[in-house]
Chains A and B, each alone.
Chain A
Amino acid sequence: MNVSEILRLALDSLKANKLRSGLTMLGIAVGVFSVIGVMTVITGLRGSIESGLNVLGANSFQFSKYPAINFSDPRQRFANRRDIDYNQAARFKELMADSAQVSLMLRRGGRVAIYADRRTNPNVILGGADENFITARNFEIAAGRNLGPDDVEFGRAVVLLGDELTKKLFLNESPLGRMVRIDGQAYTVVGLLAPKGSSFGQSQDNFAVTPITQFLETYGRAGRSISINVQSANQAELTATMETSVGTMRLVRGLDPEDPNDFEIFSNDTLIESFNNIAGVVAVGAFVISAIALLASGVGVMNIMLVSVTERTKEIGIRKSIGAKKKNILSQFLIEAVVLSLVGGLAGIAVGVIGGNVVAGMLNATAIFPWGWAIAGMVVCSGIGIVFGYYPAWKAASLDPIEALRYE
Chain B
Amino acid sequence: MRRLYYELTESLRIAFAQIRANKLRSALTALGVIIGIVAVTLMGTAIKGIDAGVDRSFSGFGDDLLYVSKWPWSNVDDWWNYRNRRPIRHEYARQINEWIATNPDSPLKLAVPTGERFTTIVRGQYRLNNIYTLGTTADYSRITRSDLKEGRFFTDAEGQVGANICFIGFDVADALFPNESPLGKTIRIRDQNFTVIGVAAKQGSFLGLFSWDSMVAMPLTTYRRYYRVGEDGEIRVQVDGTRMAEAREELQGLMRRLRTLGPEKRDDFTINEQGTIRAQLDPIKNGVALAGLFITGLALFVGAIGIMNITYVSVKERTKEIGTRKALGARRRTILLQFLIEAVAICFVGGVAGLVLAAVLTSVVGAVAPSFPLVFSTSLVVTGLAVSVFTGIFSGFAPAWAASKLDPVVALRYE
Contact = CB atoms under 8 A, between A and B. Distances in A.
B368 to A, nearest CB: 16
Given A23-B312, A296-B36, 5 more contacts: A19-B312, A289-B296, A290-B298, A293-B302, A303-B309
A27 interface: yes
B298 A74 contact: no
Given A300-B32, A302-B28, A74 B129 contact: yes
Contacts of B31: 299
B308 A23 contact: yes
A20 B309 contact: yes
Interface string B22-36: 001100110110011
Interface string A289-330: 110110111011011101100010000000000000000000
Interface in A272-298: 286, 289-290, 292-293, 295-297
A53 B313 CA distance: 55
A172 B196 CA distance: 68
Given A74-B129, A296-B36, A34 B298 contact: yes
Interface residues of A, number: 30
Contact of B299 (A20, A286, A296): A296
Nearest to B208: A71
A30 interface: yes
B313 A20 contact: yes
B25 A27 contact: no
A124 B300 CA distance: 53
A76 interface: yes
Given A74-B129, A289-B296, A306-B24, A295 B305 contact: no
Contact of A303 (B35, B120, B310): B310
Contact of B302 (A30, A74, A76, A77): A30
13 contacts: A27-B305, A33-B298, A34-B298, A76-B120, A286-B295, A290-B298, A292-B39, A292-B296, A293-B298, A295-B35, A296-B306, A299-B32, A299-B306
A162 interface: no
Contacts of B300: 296
A292 B317 CA distance: 30
A300 B35 contact: no
B292 interface: yes
B35 A31 contact: no
Contacts of B32: 296, 299-300, 303
B228 to A, nearest CB: 20
Given A31-B302, A289-B292, A292-B299, A303 B39 contact: no
Contact of A31 (B298, B308, B309): B298
Contacts of A289: 39, 43, 292, 295-296
A24 B24 CA distance: 18
A38 interface: yes
B28 A296 contact: no
Given A23-B309, A74-B130, A299 B299 contact: no
B46 to A, nearest CB: 10
A20 B312 contact: yes
Contacts of A106: none
Contacts of A74: 129-130
A302 B31 CA distance: 11
Contacts of A290: 295, 298
A286 B292 CA distance: 9
A30 B302 CA distance: 7
Contacts of B24: 306
Contacts of B306: 27, 296-297, 299-300, 303
A25 to B, nearest CB: 10
A296 B302 contact: yes
A293 B305 contact: no
Contacts of A302: 28
Nearest to A79: B129
A129 interface: no
A24 B310 CA distance: 10
Given A27-B306, A289-B295, A307 B25 contact: yes
A26 interface: yes
Nearest to A21: B309
B243 to A, nearest CB: 41
A49 to B, nearest CB: 17
B299 A34 contact: yes
Contact of A30 (B35, B301, B312): B301
Interface in A5-61: 19-20, 23-24, 26-27, 30-31, 33-34, 38
B43 to A, nearest CB: 8
B120 A296 contact: no
B309 A34 contact: no
Contact of A23 (B25, B130, B305): B305
B302 A297 contact: yes
A358 to B, nearest CB: 14
Interface string B9-48: 0000000000000001100110110011001000100000
Contacts of A297: 302, 305-306
B298 A30 contact: yes
B303 interface: yes
A38 B295 contact: yes
A38 B295 CA distance: 8
Contacts of A295: 35, 299
A299 B28 contact: yes
- Chain A CB within 10 Å, residue with most, of B35, B308, B309: B309
A197 B198 CA distance: 54
Nearest to B130: A74
A332 B326 CA distance: 38
- Chain B CB within 10 Å, residue with most, of A27, A76, A77: A27
B295 A293 contact: yes
A300 to B, nearest CB: 4
B301 A24 contact: no
Contacts of B305: 23-24, 26-27, 30, 297, 300
A306 B309 CA distance: 13
A31 to B, nearest CB: 6
Contacts of A34: 295, 298-299
Interface string B99-126: 0000000000000000000001000000
Contacts of B308: 23
Contacts of A19: 312
Nearest to A302: B28
Contacts of B28: 299, 302-303, 306
Contacts of B29: 303
Interface string B307-321: 011101100010000
Contacts of A23: 305, 308-309, 312
Interface in B23-75: 24-25, 28-29, 31-32, 35-36, 39, 43
A296 B312 CA distance: 18
Contacts of B302: 27, 30-31, 293, 296-297, 300
- Chain B CB within 10 Å, residue with most, of A19, A24, A290, A292: A292
A302 B306 CA distance: 10
Interface in A155-203: none
B209 to A, nearest CB: 14
- Chain B CB within 10 Å, residue with most, of A34, A38, A293: A293
Interface in B266-312: 292, 295-296, 298-303, 305-306, 308-310, 312
